[in-house]
A and B are shown apart, each in its own frame.
Chain A
């Protein structure tokens, strides 16, 4: 296969001629998903500037304005476009801040999973033998505990030892740690499988014959060639991590209500559905569903593009 790219093509020209961009231009779902995703992320990141109120600032909260409906329902207050929650916080602002927390935890946890999983997967796949057996059994054990179980144990222990106040202060890093620890085997297994496939290729033999160290071969030669599956699994894992965090928060094991994530918002509104204030739960729930959906759709598209069997065949 020869391509028509000139030898002096810049990175930008390579991207422009690449299959990635070509298929993106032809895939409406991917384009819409990316657009929605970018809007959501931008809104979340810019929450302090975009949001009408700061839900963390107790001074701005008016308890008398609690449970106001969104603007299209009678009895709404034009100051609160999406209505307010049970504590009188502006729902739009709370959702923006909450999405920020959810995304931070989602990406943080995935970064942690990836770091652990890629290292363990590379070691297991490249060294093989006992290292492989040990790490993969460890992964099996880890997977046999569900994320929730790990979170319940670690979260409960932390709360019991350090108290609720300390827990609130460290909730974000703690959740990143819990979800990161619980799901690294997904990465390790994927990376190990691709390493095993790459290890048999002759360029790895060529590097060994050259006399390169195992570490250099693993990170410089094999790792760059296993990036495609890592990218694909990362999208799925970000979505999973956001869902996990929401589930934990919904069960009261995640973010405290003072720093709500999407999950704890859904939970805080859940008690008021019976009294007719459905929007406190439904609107953040909808945002969560859309966020996870677009990430998964992007992941599907990426998997189709990066799967060499579909276009090289």
Chain B
């Protein structure tokens, strides 16, 4: 459908693999973000007929980089056996970091800065550190600078136990600093705006688990998972995502206490995404290059957009980003065969459903005369979402694309959308066309 001149500007997803997504501080806790990414990078390289030297650049999303693995993209690339001459950089756009990596590759392609990219996202939320504050840093700096015994004594005397109070990176990372709201609290605001009830949220959470369980039963993830032998002693293997609860019931979900607003809230750990570890790698190249190499792509990026909105209702990000991505692709919402809309919170997913179809909201927030359209829930997250599979922050965006590409193939469908909300008040969306 596109002109052949565009083939050099169109980015194709050729292949992809991911680690299983595992609950944080669980099976994969000993693996760092680089360990996970190096594994999937190597597997993608070993399994695709491309020479490592043909890769022009490596782009990896990571929201919580470990100090020991600064520019984790480069660390993972070298460890996966990519030549030292292939450059690598890390991108960070919170929850969209993995998707951002694909967009970075697309931008580089369009700028003429390379044709073949190894991209992805990695996150080891198990390894999010305890942080010691600046007071402790100052104490040690002072102690280190002290020369005379007297100075040293004075430095020691300046110690305060309060400076030992640790900060949890995982909690602070999930709190919006400009509004002071935790991510779950923003979901509560979305639920209030659209009158979403606890029962609606729990029903969506249950459906997520059921769909994921069915997908696992039918081995639908087998093509996208590269099992991982577990560090540090390598005695066991993790083959599949471990957050899916096959026996989940509505009753059990209903018993859970709200977390973010303990008295009047509806958002619980049961209807929120899980905190997980995982990594995804995607091999991308221009459509022209794929044709030249005689390789068949999984899917082609037809449209992409990123949008900003109020951090207080960041969960509605997909509704802000999707219209622009659709416009680029020349499509309407109802032409999408499959949609992956990240389940940060059930409340926020339901909020997006409502907002897409809400004429008032679309007018006030998007300035549109017409609502964006109705999103058919039966086409959204057909294999479950982050509530069941987990949300290793930077890995998720890439996983949505990977799962979407495979699902389009499986259904022999044509168009799909992957979109997610981003902490801090943004949304990102990519429209794929099956190749």
> A and B bound?
no
Q: Contact residues of B with A, CB < 8 Å?
A: none
Q: Contact residues of A with B, CB < 8 Å?
A: none
